[in-house]
């Protein structure tokens, strides 16, 4: 009897999209709008009759908004990468600018 072994592999997608890719919105129901970016689910906006509730692609609530456009904008901004300042300040602190001194005998 021959036993056949097959290898199994799992591929995990770590797809990231540049912030220049806009969100694409589709109305899934009368009170739900779904956003995708590059074909990947990005989040949704749900209208409960009084406010628009925004959730990201992980289901995390991002807030409630009176206007649908404000809700769309909140999800767009949540997908923008955090802006980081320079790694070092443009001017070094005074203590770092001092010249090294020789020890006195």
pLDDT tens, N- to C-terminus, the chain (105 residues) = 565 655 555 554 555 545 567 899 999 999 999 999 988 999 999 999 999 999 999 999 999 999 999 999 999 988 765 556 666 556 656 666 666 667 676
**What's the CA angle centered on 100, arms 99 and 102, to 5 degrees?**
130
Task: Return the pLDDT at 67.
Answer: 95
**DSSP per-residue letters across 77-90:** HHTSPPP---SS-S
**What's the CA angle centered on 16, arms 79 and 43, to 5 degrees?**
40
Going by DSSP bridges, is the β-strand pair 32-37/40-47 parallel, antiparallel, or unpaired? Answer: antiparallel
Distance CA 32, CA 78 (A): 19
Q: H helices then E strands: how many in the chain?
A: 2, 5
pTM (2 d.p.): 0.59
């Amino acid at each position: 009897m021959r036993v056949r072994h097959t290898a199994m592999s799992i591929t995990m997608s770590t797809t990231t999209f540049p912030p220049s890719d806009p969100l694409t919105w589709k109305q899934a129901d009368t009170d739900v709008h779904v956003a995708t970016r590059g074909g990947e689910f990005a989040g949704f906006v749900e209208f409960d009759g009084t406010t628009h509730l925004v959730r990201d692609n992980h289901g995390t609530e991002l807030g409630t908004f009176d206007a649908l456009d404000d809700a769309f904008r909140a999800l767009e901004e949540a997908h923008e990468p955090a802006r980081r300042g320079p790694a070092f300040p443009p001017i070094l602190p005074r203590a770092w600018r001092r010249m090294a001194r020789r020890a006195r005998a």
